Amino acid sequence: MISKVKNAMSNLVGGMMPHGHHHHNHHSGGGQNSGQEGLPHRFPYGRPDFLDLTPELLQYSTEHASRPVVTLKRGTRLPWGAGYAEAINAGKSMLNEDQASCEKLFVRKPSSKHRNSTLVDDNGDNTGIPLHFWGVFDGHAGSGAAIMASKLLHRIIRDGLGEICHLLENPNSAPPICLAKNGSPFQTEAKKGGTQDSAEDADAVCDASVRFHMEKVVSLESLVMGVIETAFKQMDDLIEKEKTSYAISGGCCALAVVYLMGKLYVANAGDSRAIIIRNNEVIPMTNEFTPESERQRLQYLGFLRPELLGNEFTHIEFPRRIQHSELGKKMLYRDHTMTGWAYKTIVEDDLKFPLIYGEGKKARVMATIGVTRGLGDHDLKVYNSNIYIKPFLSCVPEVKVYNLDENKHGPDDVLVMGTDGLWDVTTDKEVAEAVSTYLSRCDPSDPMRYTLAAQELLMRSRGVLKERGWRLPNEKLGSGDDITVFIIPLAGHESET
């Protein structure tokens, strides 16, 4: 097996982009899409619907040699006047595996007709609580999971919020701890009397002093966060379920921004990133989830369930691979309990391949994948083995909240969200400076100003094609990855909601 893993690592290094960038690195030998042959696609390949590309433009967008920047057409307006730009990779995959979505939806109580069915269209019904959604989905080993998530995640979030719509409509009241069987507030029915069965009545705590000590106060904000977290899990489960009937390739990192009732909820699972630029100040809204940032979680799982390591990997990390001749010597190590390093005596078990190997953007879980959160990847295995990697991958996002109503925003205050193709070569500060500088020179009344800023930002990260590949102005390597960028004006909600 060690030789198999070495092969996987050599393929990984050999498969690096000539311009210094890598895929999230699945290997075809890992059986990612095993059993999918002959099944119809869940959704056909395409670019985001809001781009409205003709077949000719769609074909043009796939040209790796020129890597054209694709933006909104003049006259097309996204919610809040948001800007958007994208470009394909420099050749690592045939198609652009990034996907994006931008939607305005309405949250309302589920009707009896739709209570047991989800994902229905709004069909022009603009009643309810307005919800805005922006999402970027960075696909790997195929675009199937990214396309499916871009089509459905916002609807799953909307439907989840619909289940608590009666609570959203009364934001000044704390959410009840228990709901009745029909989904209505427990306390409301209790006051009406006679609607709970005796078992439910028996569970109710009547003594006010006891209740004060037993009950946690849960905010409406944290309830919305829980709906979003649950929606990511439901999306991941749906991908797994539908893979039995459809060809849904690969997996994807997922970054979603949800606007609801004066607040932005930024949910991230993967290594995409979002920042807020306000008064030239940078406010990070995401953390990246990689083998290095989640080392202790991954090692702890390997420690608790060693059978997931297939008797081929060790959860312990060492500064380098151990040689057989070093058995019995003391070497630096760290495990799931440690942030620092210590020495241990090397034993036979330590000769196994490390669960986490490599540094920075080259760090991999089981020598295979460079991100630790996302959607899909249910069939992903270690190269040429039967060891599944999915148990180590989490679909649960980290959700951060930004209260728009607590701050005043000018036309140059924005949220920038993008896939890692943008951030691999551009820091938060550089992005903020580029966007702020461009917007300060741009006509405030130009409806395309945010799309033009997104285009400018994307071109800075992509660079210019020269003899030695795509290069930045400082001659460093440009991004060879797919790049997707939204720029969302924070003052945009005032005119629409």
Q: What is the pLDDT of residues 356-397, one digit of tens each?
A: 999 998 999 999 999 999 999 999 999 999 999 999 999 999
Residue 287: pLDDT above 70? Answer: yes
> What is the reported pTM?
0.88
Residue 209: pLDDT above 50? Answer: yes
In the chain, domain spans: 57-111+128-169+218-289+395-495, 294-370
Rounded Cα–Cα distance for residues 299 and 317 (Å) = 9
Residue 486: pLDDT above 80? Answer: yes
Query: Which of 175-179, 277-281, 283-287 has the weakest average pLDDT?
Result: 175-179
Our measurement of the distance from residue 72's CA atom to the centroid of its chain's CA atoms, rounded to an integer in Å, reads: 23
Q: What is the mean pLDDT of residues 251-280?
A: 97
Q: What angle do CA 423, 47, 130 make, to 5 degrees?
A: 80
pLDDT digit string, tens, across residues 421-466: 999 999 999 999 999 999 999 998 899 999 999 999 999 999 999 9
b/e per residue, 383-399, with b = 16+ CB within 10 A?
bbbebbbbebbbbebbb
Of all residues in the chain, the percent with pLDDT exceeding 90 is: 75
Residue 341 pLDDT class (50, 70, 90 cuts): very high
Q: What is the pLDDT of residue 9?
A: 43
Of all residues in the chain, the percent with pLDDT exceeding 70 is: 83
Secondary-structure class of domain 57-111+128-169+218-289+395-495 per CATH? alpha beta
Residue 20 pLDDT class (50, 70, 90 cuts): very low
Query: Which of 13-22, 62-71, 84-93, 429-438 has the weakest average pLDDT?
Result: 13-22
Residue 278 pLDDT class (50, 70, 90 cuts): very high
Strands 469-471 and 251-260: unpaired
Are the C-beta atoms of 232 and 153 separated by less than 8 Å?
yes
Residue 175 pLDDT class (50, 70, 90 cuts): confident
Query: Which of 74-83, 189-198, 280-289, 379-388 has the weakest average pLDDT?
Result: 189-198
Q: What is the mean pLDDT of residues 317-344?
A: 96
Q: What is the mean pLDDT of residues 206-222?
A: 71
What's the whole-number average pLDDT of the chain?
87
Residue 14 pLDDT class (50, 70, 90 cuts): very low
Q: What is the mean pLDDT of residues 23-38?
A: 54
Residue 177 pLDDT class (50, 70, 90 cuts): confident
